[in-house]
Amino acid sequence: MKRALFPVLALSAFLTAQSAPAQVKVEVGKITCKQFLAFSVADPRDIAIWLSGYYHGKRSDTVLDTQELKENFEKLKSACYSNYDTPVMQIVEKAFVAPTAK
């Protein structure tokens, strides 16, 4: 019985390992608007959420305004349509991030 069970377990482990998604790391600063709009890196909403968290974290702002997030996502998409080759983070920094006081 043990001998018959081993091949089944081995096959099961192999199939599980084959179907596991690969981990992918992305340099967000290099994502262009064209890639953002084409879903070629990730879902644009996921990227927008990451960007929101990144910039809120830089300001130590822990407030999540879901309506503002949706509005900013739409603004970012609109800005990207006329700036295909521009990095998304550059668009965000110009349009959404207030300059720091010196």
Q: Which domains are delineated in the chain? A: 27-95 (1.10.890)
The pLDDT score that the predictor gives to residue 2 is 52
- Which ranges of the chain have pLDDT less than 70? 1-23, 98-102
Give the list of residues 6+ apart from residue 34 with CB closer than 8 angstroms, or none. Answer: 40, 80, 84, 85
Q: What is the C-alpha separation between 36 and 21, in angstroms, rounded?
A: 21
Per-residue model confidence (pLDDT) at position 93: 94
- The dihedral region occupied by 41, where left means phi > 0, alpha psi between -120 and 50, and beta the remainder, is alpha
| pLDDT for the residue numbered 11 | 45
DSSP label at 38? T
- Long-range CB contacts for residues 44-49, cutoff 8 Å, separation at least 24: 44/73, 44/77, 45/73, 47/88, 48/72, 48/73, 48/76
The two three-digit tokens of residue 62, written as one number: 């822990």
3-state secondary structure of 44: helix
For position 96, what pLDDT does the model report? 84
